Homo-oligomer: A and B are copies of this chain.
Amino acid sequence: MVSLQSTGRFLIGLDIGGTKLAAVVADRDGTILQKARRPTEAARGPRLIVESLCEMVREVAGLASVRLTEVAGIGVSCGGPLDTATGIVYSPPNLPGWDGIPLKAWLEESLNIAAFVENDANAEALAEWLFGAGRGYRNVVYMTMSTGIGGGLILDGRLYRGTCDAAGEVGHITLVPNGPRCGCGKRGCLEALCSGPAIARRARELITETVPGSRFQVPGQQADRPDVQTGRPDLMVDLADGDVNAITAETVMNAARRGDATALRVVDETARYMAQGLGTLINVLNPEIIIIGTIIVKAGDLLLSPIREYLKQETWDRLYRTVQIVPAGLGDAVGDLAAIAVVRQALEGYVKR
* Count of identical protomers in the assembly: 2
A84: interface (CB < 8 Å)? no
Interface contact B163-A139, CB-CB below 8 Å:
yes
- Which positions 161-208 of chain A face chain B at CB distance < 8 Å? 161-170, 172-177, 184-186
> Please, what's the 1-or-0 string for A308-330, where 1 marks a CB less than 8 Å from any CB in chain B?
00000111101100110000000
Residues in chain B near residue A185, CB distance under 8 A: 313
Residues in chain B near residue A166, CB distance under 8 A: 286, 316, 318-319, 322
Instruction: Report the bound CA distance from A279 to B173 in whole Å.
Output: 8
Interface contact B172-A283, CB-CB below 8 Å:
yes
Q: A188's closest neighbor in chain B, by CB?
A: B276
Residues in chain B near residue A293, CB distance under 8 A: none
A285: interface (CB < 8 Å)? yes
Q: Which of B161, B169, B280 contacts A174 (CB 8 A)?
A: B280
- Whole-angstrom distance between the Cβ of A187 and the nearest chain B Cβ: 9
A284: interface (CB < 8 Å)? yes
Interface contact A173-B322, CB-CB below 8 Å:
no
Interface contact B163-A323, CB-CB below 8 Å:
yes
Residues in chain B near residue A177, CB distance under 8 A: 175-176, 276
26 contacts between A and B (CB under 8 A): A81-B318, A138-B163, A156-B158, A156-B160, A162-B285, A162-B287, A163-B286, A163-B287, A163-B322, A163-B323, A164-B286, A164-B318, A166-B286, A166-B318, A167-B285, A169-B283, A172-B283, A173-B280, A173-B283, A173-B284, A174-B279, A177-B276, A185-B313, A186-B314, A280-B280, A281-B284
